[in-house]
Amino acid sequence: MIEFILNNKIIKTDANESITLVDFIRDDKGLKGTKIVCREGDCAACSVLVGELDVSHNSVKYHTITSCISPLANAHGKHIVTIEGLNQNHILTPVQNSIKNNNATQCGFCTPGFVIAMTNYCLNPSLNSEEQMLDCIGGNICRCTGYVSLVKAAKDIISQTQNKGEKYQLQELISEGFIPEYFAGMALKLATIEPKIPNNHSSNIIAGGTDLYVQKADELLLRNHARFIHSESKSSVKIQNGKCILSANATVSDLFHNPELIRSIPELHDFLRLVSSEPIRNMAAIAGNFVNASPIADMSIFCLALDAELTLQSSKNSRKIRLKDFFLDYKKTALQKDEHISQIVFNIPNKSAYFNFEKISKRRNLDIATVNSAIYLEIKNDTVLKANIAIGGVAPIPMYLTKCSEFLINKEINLGTLKQLLEILNQEISPISDVRGTADYKKLLANQIIKQHFLKLFPDSIKFEEVL
Ligand SMILES: Cc1cc2nc3c(=O)[nH]c(=O)nc-3n(C[C@H](O)[C@H](O)[C@H](O)COP(=O)(O)OP(=O)(O)OC[C@H]3O[C@@H](n4cnc5c(N)ncnc54)[C@H](O)[C@@H]3O)c2cc1C
Ligand code: FES
Ligand code: FES
């Protein structure tokens, strides 16, 4: 039985857990305001708000997801808000008014998604800048009727909520008509829903579904006994004794919002903005990115450079494995049939560490990489003590560059070192030609991306003109 709150109604259903949330909303509940366009998570026409109980603050925290690739099971215990749940009295909300007044209405398919995404901005008092508002609508890909009008509407909404900060509480949003009255009692209602009992016997894991529902949505409908780890417990990112510890269902957004990690990796937001879009990051598990094992998986490359260690749990045992030993061949990993990833751990970069992530794709945002790479270096007295370099798109697996990483130990950072490193790189990688580019092109990109790490991290030692 799946239990959640859809707008202001309690839902208890024994419908197939694997159907997508959008199909349940539209077909079972007849709420047709949530649209379906791509069914691949790319356009955000199907966006809904998801509220999760924050027990420590006795409140509900909202984010957006694309409901076309999210299994119904993942709604368990949550508050799901569709466009119909926002303006129940047929009066436009301030968000809808801003869109209307700034001529920012898109077509009937795309507008509801924008309203949901912009309302999400208003529901999160910690969001208070244009950049954060643009993050919120970053996944809503169609702007047929104009970018400028949408940005104007966005600014209009920001001006109505600005400077209210953390004090801008639910009651104010309700009294100003951003959301209906029923939002007020939601924390109490969600607290009465029992969490799902983990189905530990199933190795058939579905996390966010952002890979699975794009690759084989129809097949998932026929599977029995899947394990939906997002609905079992709240995901977590903990920092303890200099280590970052991720739960099995921790998402890219969980990393994005972790203040201690941001302190340790100040450019974290810039790096993670290159990974999919906000609604996808809200669903996408880091473990899912590893197990999908795409050769250009961004979080795999990111965590390879951080030398992450995984705990693989079976019904009887648990074992630890380094991420660099996890990828065996194209889409083949060290995960055994009855195992799942139960934890991911990496050391957070310390003060003497340098970390950088780069991604080259045809489009800057919301695109998969042609080549991506991350580097982690620890340096003392101008000498490299520790080095991890990872690169994607040049091998059948997300690749840890063993030879390059070993070469850098005890070296000084200068042009000579970089030139030798590139020679080793060209021996270590063997890209193939495919739809993302020819082998030669990818080799060129691999060289450029490594140079870019050094230009960015060591502008005093390596000059742009020298590496051209
Ligand atoms: C629009 C869109 C844009 C995207 N953009 C990017 C991008 O920019 N960069 C990028 O790298 N990826 C991108 N992706 C791919 C995807 O979002 C990521 O790979 C994501 O991290 C997968 O996680 P998930 O929770 O959705 O996995 P799921 O789809 O639920 O699962 C993927 C695989 O992992 C397995 N699995 C999940 N969790 C566990 C676990 N704990 N133990 C064992 N097995 C597990 C599942 O069984 C399945 O085989 C994009 C996807 C979409 C739809
Ligand atoms: S329909 Fe396009 S993201 Fe869901
Ligand atoms: S298709 Fe809807 S606005 Fe572009």
Strands 340-347 and 332-333: unpaired
Evaluate whether 111 touches 39 at the Cβ level (below 8 Å). no
How many angstroms separate the alpha carbon of residue 44 from the centre of ligand 2?
A: 5
Chain-centre distance for alpha carbon 417: 35
Model confidence at 88, pLDDT cuts 50, 70, 90, reads: confident
pLDDT in tens, 175-221: 999 999 999 999 999 999 998 888 777 778 999 999 999 999 999 98
How many angstroms separate the alpha carbon of residue 402 from the centre of ligand 1?
A: 25
- Nearest atom in ligand 2 to the alpha carbon of residue 44 is 3
Ligand 2 in contact with 25 (CB < 6 A)?
A: no
Ligand 2 in contact with 20 (CB < 6 A)?
A: no
Residue 436 has pLDDT above 80, yes or no: yes
Residue 164 has pLDDT above 70, yes or no: no
Q: At what angle do helices 111-123 and 94-101 cross, to 10 degrees?
A: 130
The CA-atom distances, in angstroms, between 402 and each of 293, 389, 410 are 19, 8, 15
Ligand 1 in contact with 122 (CB < 6 A)?
A: no
- Identify the structural domains of the chain with CATH numbers, from first to last: 2-191 (3.10.20.30), 235-467 (3.30.465.10)
Model confidence at 267, pLDDT cuts 50, 70, 90, reads: very high
How many angstroms separate the alpha carbon of residue 37 from the centre of ligand 2?
A: 5
Query: Distance (Å, rounded) from C-alpha 281 to C-alpha 370?
Result: 20
Mean predicted lDDT score pLDDT of the chain: 94
* Ligand nearest to the CA of residue 20, numbered in listed order: 2
* Ligand nearest to the CA of residue 67, numbered in listed order: 2
Residue 243 has pLDDT above 70, yes or no: yes
Ligand 3 in contact with 107 (CB < 6 A)?
A: yes
Query: Distance (Å, rounded) from C-alpha 368 to C-alpha 393?
Result: 10
Closest to 149 in 3D by CA, of 112, 105, 104: 104
Tell me the pTM.
0.96
Residue 261 has pLDDT above 90, yes or no: yes
Mean pLDDT, range 386-412, rounded to an integer: 97
Q: Residue 192: what pLDDT?
A: 95
The helix (H) or strand (E) run that includes residue 241 is: none
pLDDT in tens, 17-33: 999 999 999 999 999 99
More confident residue, 142 or 71: 71
3-state SS, residue 289: helix
What percent of the chain clears pLDDT 70, i.e. is strictly above it? 99
Q: Residue 298: what pLDDT?
A: 98
How many angstroms separate the alpha carbon of residue 48 from the centre of ligand 2?
A: 11
Residue 433 has pLDDT above 70, yes or no: yes
Residue 315 has pLDDT above 70, yes or no: yes
Phi first, then psi: what are they for 250, rounded to 5°?
A: -60, 135
* Ligand nearest to the CA of residue 338, numbered in listed order: 1
- Nearest atom in ligand 2 to the alpha carbon of residue 42 is 3
Mean pLDDT, range 41-52, rounded to an integer: 97
Q: Residue 225: what pLDDT?
A: 80
How many angstroms separate the alpha carbon of residue 190 from the centre of ligand 2?
A: 27
Evaluate whether 106 touches 51 at the Cβ level (below 8 Å). no
Ligand 1 in contact with 208 (CB < 6 A)?
A: yes
